[in-house]
């Protein structure tokens, strides 16, 4: 299975489809990530807050896959905003992952109420200079947060990882990001299973037309929109299904019909008001 790559604004490349491990229980993580690697995933998306970096690291180490064929993302948690705490948080994540560097380090949430994300971003710039993160980016940043980084710092984030799925397609933020050269990664790409995305007519009809599952249609919609997508599954069968999305193309009519499902409906927290 060859997953295409996207070139980021710093020249590094990222596999367009990866494996997310939010809510993968720590004792299960090594086994589940090992199964994902066996299924062909080479891009793993974790976070300090998920509590499962050790399991991810063990799975990577025992896989025998060369480090340069793997793409690893982790994220700085909200309690670690600030200069020294960000540097310490990166070191702690690298220790848990058993890696010398990650491919991508993200600020998990802006937490505008704390007003420290600009300072934290400068620390990530230093971590990139130090070689601990090949690329740096943000997550859950709105346009106004990105504008502040642009006004007050020298580095444009390589990535903004945001909630994005057909019911919450974030067209304004995507247009802004395209203009700035920021790649968008879709979290909750399947809507986290929180409502019946797969039963929507536009998705179900495309699935039937192509002889694929509704989940595969949704992932294909992300890919054909140029988005990076990181579905999570604890099931080996669904892991295989979710990476088997390079053998068909949705038509323009099908893409437009799925675009029409946007309800501006978040399943997760609003970054402007989140206080966890």
Q: Is 215 in the site for ligand NDP (CB under 6 A)?
A: yes
Q: Which two three-digit tokens encode residue 16?
A: 């367009």
Binding track over 2-31 against ligand NDP, x by CB under 6 A:
------------------xxx---------
Q: Return the number of the residue (116 or 188) whose C-beta is nearest ligand NDP.
A: 188
Residue 117 CA to its chain's centroid (Å): 19
Q: Is 232 in the site for ligand NDP (CB under 6 A)?
A: yes
Q: Is 240 in the site for ligand NDP (CB under 6 A)?
A: no
195 noted as active-site residue: no
Q: Is 139 in the site for ligand NDP (CB under 6 A)?
A: yes
Q: Is 140 in the site for ligand NDP (CB under 6 A)?
A: yes
Q: Is 110 in the site for ligand NDP (CB under 6 A)?
A: no
Q: Which two three-digit tokens encode residue 223?
A: 């890919």
Q: Return the number of the residue (11 or 188) whose C-beta is nearest ligand NDP.
A: 188
User: How far is Cα 54 from Cα 202, in angstroms, rounded to an integer?
Assistant: 40
Stretch that binds ligand NDP, among 91-99, 119-127, 150-158, 189-197 (CB under 6 A): 189-197
Binding track over 48-87 against ligand NDP, x by CB under 6 A:
----------------------------------------
User: How far is Cα 215 from Cα 188, in angstroms, rounded to an integer?
Assistant: 12
Q: Which two three-digit tokens encode residue 112?
A: 């505008």
| CA dist 54 → 28, 49, 75, 106, 249 (Å) | 11, 12, 14, 18, 37
Q: Is 191 in the site for ligand NDP (CB under 6 A)?
A: yes
User: From the candidates 41, 50, 105, 117, which is the catalytic residue?
Assistant: 50
15 strand-pairing partners = 5
Q: What is the dihedral of CA 252, 175, 2, 249, to 10 degrees?
A: 0
Stretch that binds ligand NDP, among 113-121, 174-182, 188-196, 248-256 (CB under 6 A): 188-196
Q: Return the number of the residue (38 or 130) whose C-beta is nearest ligand NDP.
A: 38
| CA dist 98 → 7, 46, 57, 83, 254 (Å) | 26, 14, 6, 23, 43
Q: Is 230 in the site for ligand NDP (CB under 6 A)?
A: yes
User: How far is Cα 9 from Cα 83, in angstroms, rounded to an integer?
Assistant: 24
Q: For residue 107, which of 80, 84, 130, 131 has the smallest C-alpha distance?
A: 80
Q: Return the number of the residue (17 or 134) whose C-beta is nearest ligand NDP.
A: 17
Residue with smallest beta-carbon separation from ligand NDP? 20
Q: Residue 128: CA atoms inside 13 Å, Cβ hemisphere, count? A: 20
Q: Is 266 in the site for ligand NDP (CB under 6 A)?
A: no
Q: What is the dihedral of CA 191, 72, 158, 108, to 10 degrees?
A: 60
Other residues' Cβ atoms within 10 Å of the Cβ of residue 149: 22
Q: Return the number of the residue (157 or 191) whose C-beta is nearest ligand NDP.
A: 191
Q: Return the number of the residue (127 or 228) whose C-beta is nearest ligand NDP.
A: 228
Q: Which two three-digit tokens encode residue 40?
A: 């062909």
Interacting residues toward ligand NDP by CB under 6 A:
20-22, 45, 108, 139-140, 161, 187-193, 213, 215, 230-235, 238, 241-242, 268
Active site residues: 50
């Amino acid at each position: 299975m060859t997953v295409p790559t996207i070139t980021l604004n710093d020249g590094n490349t990222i596999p367009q489809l990866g494996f997310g491990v939010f809510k993968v229980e720590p004792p299960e993580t090594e086994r589940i990530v090992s199964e994902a690697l066996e299924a062909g995933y080479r891009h793993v998306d974790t976070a300090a807050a998920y509590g499962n970096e050790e399991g991810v690291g063990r799975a990577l180490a025992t896989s025998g896959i060369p480090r340069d064929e793997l793409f690893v993302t982790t994220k700085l948690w909200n309690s670690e905003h600030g200069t020294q705490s960000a540097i310490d948080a990166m070191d702690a994540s690298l220790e848990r992952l058993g890696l010398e560097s990650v491919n991508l380090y993200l600020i998990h949430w802006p937490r505008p109420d704390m007003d420290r994300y600009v300072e934290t971003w400068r620390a990530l710039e230093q971590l990139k200079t130090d070689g601990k993160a090949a690329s740096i980016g943000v997550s859950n940043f709105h346009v106004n947060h990105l504008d502040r980084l642009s006004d007050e710092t020298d580095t444009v984030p390589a990535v903004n990882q945001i909630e994005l799925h057909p019911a919450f397609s974030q067209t304004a933020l995507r247009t802004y990001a395209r203009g700035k050269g920021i790649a968008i990664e879709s979290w909750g790409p399947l809507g986290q299973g929180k409502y019946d995305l797969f039963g929507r007519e536009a998705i179900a009809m495309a699935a039937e037309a192509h002889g694929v599952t509704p989940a595969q249609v949704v992932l294909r919609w992300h890919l054909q929109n140029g988005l990076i997508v990181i579905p999570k599954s604890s099931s080996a069968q669904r892991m295989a299904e979710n990476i088997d999305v390079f053998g068909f193309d949705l038509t323009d009519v099908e893409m437009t019909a799925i675009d029409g499902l946007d309800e501006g409906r978040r399943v997760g927290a609003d970054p402007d008001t989140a206080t966890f």
